[in-house]
Amino acid sequence: MFGLTGWKKEVLDWILTIGCAIIIAFGLRTYVLTLVNVQGTSMEPTLSNSDKLYINKLMYKPERGDIIVFTPASDPDRPYIKRVIALEGDTVYIDFETSEVYVNGEVIDEPYIKEPTKLIGSYISQLMLSGHYSKDEPIVIEKGMVFAMGDNRNNSKDSREIGQVPLEEIAGGVCFRFWPFSEFGAIPDGTE
């Protein structure tokens, strides 16, 4: 290569190899997988404070039950980690007396939550005060939006508080837990 011989060629080969590895690693981290640190207890019992997660960023499209990472425009200082409850076109109604969550008129099974849903949140409170929230008038998820809530329902700032989440605010979906090693692997999506 370039007329080099001996140790000079070997050094240049090592520099090129390391350089390529750095570029590939940067590309993967920027466009495919990113490590995210869980901050807080809003996803207990599924995720715990300080868990480390890898998220898929490449052509990610949220599905019901996915755990997503997003940064809301209303609170840009840290990423939120929540579970997708409903997608665009779906309807959502939460009966705060029975703690049942309805999506498209059907009660959803939520074996992943810490305790029954009681926390209302300002987004839903405003809908209630304006008379635009009932079982007969559920929230309709707008185009390009999802409705997401934490598994620790009574200790989570989520769509009940901040409203629907725009798809462009979603960084990606959680692929697997990296840390702690005792919990390493895929995280159930809640639809099993």
Q: Which residues are catalytic?
A: 42, 82
Integer Cα distance of 115 and 173 in angstroms: 24
* pLDDT on residue 7: 73
Q: Are 148 and 70 in contact (CB under 8 A)?
A: yes
Integer Cα distance of 186 and 146 in angstroms: 22
* pLDDT on residue 21: 64
Query: C-alpha 12: how far from its chain's center?
Result: 43
Q: Which long-range contacts (CB under 8 A, 24 or more apart) does 159-165 make?
A: 159/82, 159/85, 159/121, 159/123, 160/94, 160/119, 160/120, 160/121, 160/123, 160/124, 161/121, 161/122, 161/123, 162/72, 162/74, 162/75, 162/121, 162/123, 163/123, 164/139, 165/68, 165/70, 165/72, 165/82
The CATH code for residues 32-181 is: 2.10.109.10
Q: What is the pLDDT along the chain (192 residues), one digit of tens a residue?
A: 456 667 777 777 777 777 666 665 665 555 556 778 788 999 999 999 989 988 887 778 999 999 999 999 888 888 999 999 999 999 999 999 999 999 999 999 999 999 999 999 999 999 999 999 999 999 999 999 999 999 999 999 999 999 999 999 998 998 878 878 788 778 865 544
pTM of the model: 0.80
**Rounded to 5 degrees, what are φ and ψ at 169?**
-85, -10
